[in-house]
Amino acid sequence: MNFYENTLKNMNKAAKIMKLDQETLDTLSYPQKTLMVNLQVRMDSGEMKYFEAYRVQHSELRGPFKGGIRYLPNVDLDEIKALATEMTFKCAVAGIPYGGGKGGVCCNAKEMSKGELERLTRKYVQAVYQVIGPNHDIPAPDMYTTPQIMAWFMDEYSRLVNQYSPGVVTGKPIEVGGSLGRGTATAQGGAYVLEEYMKRHDMKAEGTTVIVQGFGNAGSFAAEILHSMGFTVVGVSDSKGGLYNEKGMDPFCIVKSKKEKGSVTNCDEGKAVGPMEILEKPCDILVLAAMENQVTEANMKNIKAKIILELANGPTIAEADEYLSKQGVVIIPDILANSGGVTVSYFEWLQNQQAYYWPLEEVEVKLKRAIIEALVRILDLQNEHKCTLREAAYISAFDRLDKALKLRGSGAHLRCKVYNK
């Protein structure tokens, strides 16, 4: 099952539980718009290369399209459609006035120079600028895109529309309109959700072991934050491999070592293991912060964690979700667990609109309040429908989206149907 099919399956399960109107489900099962382009970029060698790129706009029922841009060699349209769809539900879960969108460029960013990345980014903006904008579609960083890339994006868009437009993109450096707390927002939001869930179930951080799969932005910050909260980090991994130490490790040392040596596997904090083997090691909490489709039918019976926190998008396929839930494993789903990133992106956009910037303490207080409110609503729906947290999260989103669709009337239905065709 591919990522898009998996997303539709999650949607259908929740829709059936809540007896959602079929027309609403049909409306939200397809993107409103899909743009595919080829980018012509001059490389440092003088060679001209072509890169396939996408922008998918899933739904604008509750506000402008919102979603990141990833630079990956194997990115494809189904993946971007799935991510755009999940963004619609994530924003609805978080209660922020956005719809879902997503973008991607087929490239190997790790092998490109800074100049090549800048030229690629500006070409992408030139290809999509007429369908984006601060009040229509607001991109953000995702896998292998950075605050620097967002700064180039904003600069090129501002040049093309002849107006300084910091709100066209979020995740920018502070110096050009970024928000304090945005870099750590995904991990921090996930930590707030986990902390509140454990508090409500009389669980404590002390003595609780954690494995973090994926040691990029979200994963590395999550390891540091959870370690600082009193959790014992016993395992971490990146694309090259993992480290495991049942006695615990210092993630700050691992972050330092990875910056110096290129991979967590070069750190002496633990014993080296395979990048997928780390998922099956003993722990209380497994933080999935890598990519989609990591917990599957192939490894689900070997998962030993009691709680899975999904900081990545779509890391658990539907069959594994169903199996693990029946075994009593609590899965805190991606559309809740990693919604801290888009929530602080919303805060950044608000600050850009106002040209007034908040202190870090204000950002963190607002984030914590928003994401805990989302969790409480989902826990209430879980209790009402006797379902999993993932199903309850989709029900929470569907409820808000269905109300928006019905309140907006026939025009919204018609617009979505036309786009879907």
Residues with a known catalytic role: 102
- Work out whether the CA dihedral 383, 389, 393, 395 comes out positive or negative: negative
Place of tokens 């991990």: 187
Give the CA dihedral 400, 402, 407, 410, nearest 10 degrees: 150
- Work out whether the CA dihedral 203, 208, 209, 214 comes out positive or negative: positive
Q: In this structure, what token pair is assigned to residue 221?
A: 């910050």
Q: Which amino acid is at 160?
A: L
3-state secondary structure of 357: coil
Radius of gyration of the chain measured on its C-alpha atoms? 21
Please check whether residue 4 is in contact with residue 85, taking contact to mean a CB–CB distance below 8 angstroms.
yes
Please check whether residue 297 is in contact with residue 317, taking contact to mean a CB–CB distance below 8 angstroms.
yes
248 C-beta neighbours (distance < 10 Å), count: 16
Q: Look up residue 163 and give its DSSP letter.
A: S
CA distance 182 to 172: 9
For residue 330, give the H/E element and its range: strand 330-332
CA distance 179 to 363: 8
3-state secondary structure of 17: helix
Distances (CA, A) of 243 to 214, 257, 263, 302: 11, 12, 10, 18
Distances (CA, A) of 205 to 201, 217, 229, 336, 379: 12, 22, 7, 20, 21
CA distance 190 to 310: 8
Place of tokens 């099962």: 29
Phi, psi of 355, rounded to the nearest 5 degrees:
55, 40
CA distance 118 to 221: 26
3-state secondary structure of 309: strand
